[in-house]
Chains A and B, each alone.
Chain A
Amino acid sequence: MFSKREDQYLDDKDKKMNTRKTSSRNRPMIQWARWMVLAVMLLASSLALAAVHNISLTAQTLPNGQLAYALGGSEAVIPGPSLFIKKGDTLNVTLTNNTEIKVGFKVPGLSQNSAKVNPGKSKTYNIKAKNAGTYAYHGNMDGREMLGLFGAIIVDKAHGPVDRYVEDNGNKTPVTQAQIDKQFVLYMVGSTFWGTEIDKDGTQKPLWANPNPGAVKDDIVRFHILSIGPGHTFHLHAHRWLKTGTDEVIDTKLLKEEFDTHSFTIKAGSGVGAGDWQYHCHLIAHMEAGMHGSFRVDDVGGNGASVVGASPYGGILLGPRQNEPGLVTFEVSDEPASWFRSARGDAIVKLSDPSANGSPLQGLDIRTKSLEVMKPGSSVNFIMSDTNGVHTISSLIWPTGAHHMPYDQSSAYRGGGIVKLDTPGLYVFTCKVHPYMFGAVVVDEDPSNGLDIGNPQQNYKIDLVTGIKGLATNSDLAIRLLKTFFIATAPANWLDYSSGTWNLRFPTIPLIISGPPFTNTFESDGFPIPLSDLNASETLNAGSIPAHPGVGEVWVNTQFEKTAGKYKAGTTTVVDTANWTVKRKVALPQINNNNPHNMWTNREQSVIYQTQWFDNKFSMIDRETGALIKNIQVGYSPSHVVTLPTNDDITIAINGENGISVIPAGTMNVTKMLPTQGQGHISANPHGHWISSDGSKIVTPNINTSDIGIYGAQGGIQARTPTGLGAPGAHPIAIGMMPDSSKIYAANLLHHSLSVLNEQGQLLKTISLLGEYNVTTGEADINNNGTKDNGILPIQSPVSPDGKAVVIASTGGSIVIVDTATDTVVKALPCDPGCHGANFGAKQPTVENPNGGYYAYVTTKFGNRLTVVDVDPNNDGNLEDATIAGYVSLVDTNTTLKDDTVSGLPGFGGQGVLAVPNVYNGWVQNLPAAWKQLLTDSQLNPVGQSN
């Protein structure tokens, strides 16, 4: 049974068939004559119509650092100029590169030479439009074309209707180009729409970011939706249109990964009337990231004008049009320190150098590329254009009372984000998956007087995502957070022990804070003080190596170290504990090894399992040779890996997703992902898991849901226990377990606490690592011994194999020791900024301790040495003598074996650390004999003779 409209569809088809059949019924001569006429006509028409378009494009850098194409001498725009041609036409595009990097011009789907152009050079690309359709063109830069080098080529049929639209009575009406009232190009890039309006006469007007295109009811409007990079779905409220090339009526269209296009035509407000009709990407994460605008349909008589969005030329620091809404843009990157890198970050660093003569920013000494300044009402834009991982873009700090805060997404994703900021003050963004990625924007009407750090209407106070509201910006905590930002995002401020000095420099521009630092005093106009008052210069000494040797090797993920043979950062540094030298660097240039984060090893101790945290890969490395065995796709942002002590199966926490990937022992493929949450529930995003010594339980710190999950080794949720005592976003990040599995310890990064749970998942205790920390003055005494210590921002927290101690690496710069007998803090030792990883290895017997005992190996991100801690040198069970046994430089030497040449950030980025042999209870028993003979009886039986 056919509906009325289907009949029409078939009628159309029949008409075509009838045309052919009519000619076949004529006599041969007439038929021949007709064909001749037709052939001549076709030839003539094609000669007449196949135009050659010579187009001159330049690639330019915009005021906010984004890149864009300009047509001829006109202004560079995003998206680039829309090129309208006819099928059969030829397009000769001459591209001149006025940027500082290599750019290209590529049109996927239309064949051409896709070579790139060097800065200052030109090149011509010849493109033949063989088929009608909408095509994306872009800069062909491995993702970085998402910075703005993209545009649309619309190839229409030479004759006849260009499209059909759906009437309010369901009819599908063909339209010619002449009948179209206006056209919009909406480019979906990251999580931002970039628009252009094309008038009936062909005039193009940039609508910039997330515009509100306008029309009058019943206008015939053609939309060209394009995308490059991660995929999207486009949805426009209350309108319907045809899926290209079909009779399918749709209102949402997939634009697939890499590049895609979709053109359609509507009659504005047809059947639904005037209104502000939202258009948006329908991926939840992109919706949450701000990927929307409105299609404004005015009643007949209205002007149907579009509202232009924020532009790279608008009201940002040094921007040319201060009265228009501006846009600062951060590239989300796998590059150490520059994880949120302003598109003009390099320029700002150069312009603010003390030696930058003539620069408007000379001497401001901004060493970070992750800071931007703009006016209220401007927007901040993020593009995941330089990363292989998934991320969130989440508020950490915002001015008290600011609108649209906190900005956040419910799960990690690929794309970008955009948010308009109206309230003056400091906004800091982070990634919940990689919580040391920082980007900061200061919103200020007039930055020349200094930068407002809090909301001027609220005594320059800020709010923190952890639930702290109205924090005075002259408090110790606020200043500590500022310092942390300017250290973490500027490698020049890191502790390079190989250089011998530490030059800590902060910007010289005054920051307007609540009052004099470290007081309860508020000044209504704010208190201007440059952070450079805290500048320090000191001599660095890497310290001496431990007096006593350890057993075996220590593998350290020097995650930020750069090598010449690959683009992505990170190596693994192997320390020989016999003489405390750097034995080997494993860079794996052949796979562009990306931010190696954490490791484990198999029973034989022959293969190192390595996660790549900013990627979706996991590699297997031959321990003895450092050679790559296999690089395996396991899921986005794999963080930690642990084997099951029972069968040696590999479990990998998929930090960017919602489960634990399993690779059966002896194989090289993921066979399943154990879900960390019920179906349909918010992703847990597990980070640093641990497994009970009997192999029955997998315990995960779930960073996105702020709870501890306990799962069966074959799957199944046994418990989900919230941490943080009700505070929002405690962010549990790593797990340690007692050797008999009787207790679970979880470090809460943003709650500055250690949760203690029993093996059923019941919360036994929450140990504060802030002590009596006074947020205003900074006074703290974590262990009541008179010293001012705290364990701010705790990360890894393993339990010693003998179950005596928890060693917590706190990224604020301390190593906290907890006695498991009392679950109290007994000691705090100093650590370099960015203290991160901790794990235990066996220590060789000494006179003091004939049983050997253990060393805790502690890594730091913003320093380049390994800290070796002896938690109980005399083995008397009292941990108060816990001490730093020594330090090991992680910089390579001329005896270090390497697969690539270190080219930057030597030995930096210490994160995951693994001692080989693996001496934890449950695993130590499975060691091969050759390794066992290096251990003492008590090391082989860490929980007594029962094992």
Chain B
Amino acid sequence: MSFQSNHLCGGTELSESSCSAQYIPHALLRPFVAVLIGIMMSLFLSGNIRAAEHVIELTAEETRDDGFGNKLLAYKMLSHKIGGADVTSRYSTEATIPGPTIELTEGDTVKISITNIIQGIDQVVDGITSKQVSIHVHGVHYDILSDGTLKVINKRDDEGAGAGLEEYHSIYEYKWNVAPGTAGTWAYHDHNFETHNGAEHKGLFGAIIVNPIGGPQYAKEYVLYLGDDAFWGMEINGVSKKQSKHGPNPTLSAKENSRVRFHLIALGTDLHTFKLNGYQWFDPGTHNLINQAAIGPLEKHVFSVKAEHSSQYEDKNLSNRLLGMRGKFNVQ
């Protein structure tokens, strides 16, 4: 809902009224506009209207040794097929933080499996600590066996790969129904490693972007996870879908006057105030222009702007600001 209402407006020079004018045509014109849109949509979507089936394989592994033996965990895309067509090449071949961004469309279905290749996972656990990793997703529909939690939570099964508190699965598969009404950007993350809270704060997180059928295209999409000391981001080419620039505080790039979309999700313990200096955007689901957003862990905040000038994105939280939690948005 939120995305479509934003995509034509952005930048600082547009007033709210000029934006709104594009969205609320005169009442008398409404029926004609609606018909026109209907025709356009059916033309645009012809041949592409069928819901796609995604088959996805992820792994979880250790990554980003700080040089002193301290490691983080990350997801890696092993394989992604859409209706049989292999799109794995759009992802990094490495385990990344954030994990692969999975683009879906309302009406799709997903089978997604996790394999745990964290070292030491096959060692016997003492019955207290889970070594299992899972995928718990937000936003889309799934039944209780695809919750990605431990049995102590869901009363059914340890729903992940590796040794859980009670069950061991070498691979665990989840089924998602990307039902109508689930459009939006949502987190997926581990819920099982070590405790029933999982290891999302150690790097096991990623995003799904659920587009509405016939949703607008963007030249670039940026996923920015707001952590407790850095943004963890990536850039996605809107045409090739190729994902790049993974890691902390990435420098994002855009062509001047292109439309780009930011997908913010927070994670960790801190509360944040996000700013993209010199830009305004619509508060999702409203027609209110804002220039900063309060965001707490696992909330999402998605907006689009027209890239008009280079800028900097940053968190205004005092400690995070002092730690340098910011990055460049280069417009050329």
Q: State the A residues within 8 Å of B (CB).
A: 1-3, 5-7, 9-10, 13-14, 17-18, 21, 166-171, 231-233, 235, 237-238, 240, 242-243, 245-257, 271-278, 282-288, 294, 410-411, 413, 633, 635-636, 654, 657-659, 661, 670-673, 675, 677-683, 705, 707, 717, 719-721
Contact = CB atoms under 8 A, between A and B. Distances in A.
Contacts of A276: 144, 153-155
A661 B322 contact: yes
A194 B213 CA distance: 41
A233 B267 CA distance: 10
Contacts of A237: 136, 147, 149
Q: Lowest 4 CB-CB distances: which A-B pairs, in order? A: A170-B181, A248-B285, A246-B285, A275-B144
Nearest to A8: B1
Interface string B171-193: 00000010111111010000000
B179 A170 contact: yes
B319 A635 contact: yes
A672 B319 CA distance: 9
A282 B298 contact: yes
B268 interface: yes
Nearest to B143: A273
Contacts of A282: 296-298
Given A274-B144, A680-B72, A672 B182 contact: no
B238 interface: no
A522 B284 CA distance: 66
A252 B248 contact: no
A251 B27 CA distance: 33
Contact of A6 (B1, B106, B154, B267): B1
Contacts of B298: 233, 235, 252, 282
Interface string B89-117: 00000000100000000100000000000
Given A1-B37, A240-B181, A681-B72, A413 B269 contact: yes
Interface string B257-288: 00000000011110100000000000111100
B284 A246 contact: yes
A84 to B, nearest CB: 26
B248 A680 contact: yes
B318 A633 contact: yes
Contacts of A255: 296
B285 A243 contact: yes
A658 B138 contact: no
Contact of A3 (B4, B40, B268): B4
A167 B37 CA distance: 25
A257 B317 CA distance: 13
A275 B147 contact: yes
A154 to B, nearest CB: 22
Given A673-B323, A717-B67, A283 B184 contact: no
Interface string B118-159: 000000000000000000101101111001010001111000
Interface residues on B, range: 35 or more
17 contacts: A1-B41, A9-B1, A168-B181, A170-B179, A235-B138, A238-B147, A240-B181, A254-B296, A273-B143, A278-B153, A283-B268, A285-B269, A411-B228, A636-B319, A677-B66, A677-B70, A707-B68
A677 to B, nearest CB: 7
B103 to A, nearest CB: 17
Contact of A14 (B27, B144, B200): B27
Contacts of A277: 144, 147
Contacts of A721: 68
A678 B70 contact: yes
A672 B322 contact: yes
A240 B182 contact: yes
Contacts of B37: 1-2, 7
B2 interface: yes
Contacts of B11: none
Contacts of B216: 1
Contacts of B30: 10, 14
Given A275-B144, A681-B66, 20 more contacts: A2-B37, A3-B214, A6-B1, A7-B34, A18-B27, A21-B27, A233-B266, A237-B147, A238-B142, A246-B283, A248-B284, A249-B181, A272-B141, A272-B142, A275-B156, A276-B154, A288-B195, A658-B228, A680-B248, A705-B70
Which one of A7, A251, A657, A720 has the greatest number of beta carbons of chain B within 10 Å?
A: A251
A660 B298 CA distance: 28
B300 interface: yes
A250 B154 contact: no
A252 B201 contact: no
B181 A171 contact: yes
Contact of A250 (B197, B267, B300): B300
B102 to A, nearest CB: 17
Contacts of B266: 233
Interface of B: 1-2, 4-5, 23-24, 27, 30, 34, 37, 40-41, 44, 64, 66-70, 72, 97, 106, 136, 138-139, 141-144, 147, 149, 153-156, 177, 179-184, 186, 195, 197, 200-203, 212-216, 227-230, 232, 248-249, 266-269, 271, 283-286, 294-300, 318-319, 322-324
Contacts of A249: 1, 139, 181-184, 285
A254 B72 contact: no
A673 B197 contact: no
Among B37, B269, B300, B319, residue most surrounded by chain A Cβ atoms (within 10 Å): B269
Contact of A720 (B68, B181, B215): B68
A257 B40 contact: no
A652 to B, nearest CB: 11
Given A10-B24, A284-B297, A720-B66, A1 B40 contact: yes
Contacts of B4: 1-3, 6
B238 to A, nearest CB: 16
A719 B201 CA distance: 23
Nearest to B211: A3
A232 B299 CA distance: 11
B179 A271 contact: yes
B24 A271 contact: no
A681 B285 contact: no
B203 A680 contact: yes
Contacts of A9: 1
A657 B270 CA distance: 11
A416 to B, nearest CB: 13
Contact of A252 (B154, B299, B318): B299
Contacts of A654: 319
B137 to A, nearest CB: 9
Contact of A678 (B66, B271, B322): B66
Given A1-B37, A2-B37, A680-B97, A233 B297 contact: yes
A253 B295 CA distance: 9
Contacts of A3: 1, 4, 183, 212-215
Given A3-B212, A3-B214, A170 B248 contact: no
Contacts of A232: 296
A679 B248 contact: yes
A287 B197 contact: yes
A235 B197 CA distance: 13
Contacts of B147: 237-238, 275, 277-278
Contacts of B295: 254
B271 A231 contact: yes
A247 B283 CA distance: 10
Contacts of B319: 635-636, 654, 657-659, 673
Among B1, B154, B268, max chain A CB count under 10 A is at B1
A707 B66 CA distance: 14
A237 B138 CA distance: 7
A231 B155 CA distance: 30
Contacts of A284: 197, 200-201, 267-269, 297
Contacts of B267: 284
Contact of B149 (A168, A250, A278, A680): A278
Contacts of B322: 635, 659, 661, 670-673
Contacts of A254: 271, 294-296, 299
A275 B34 contact: no
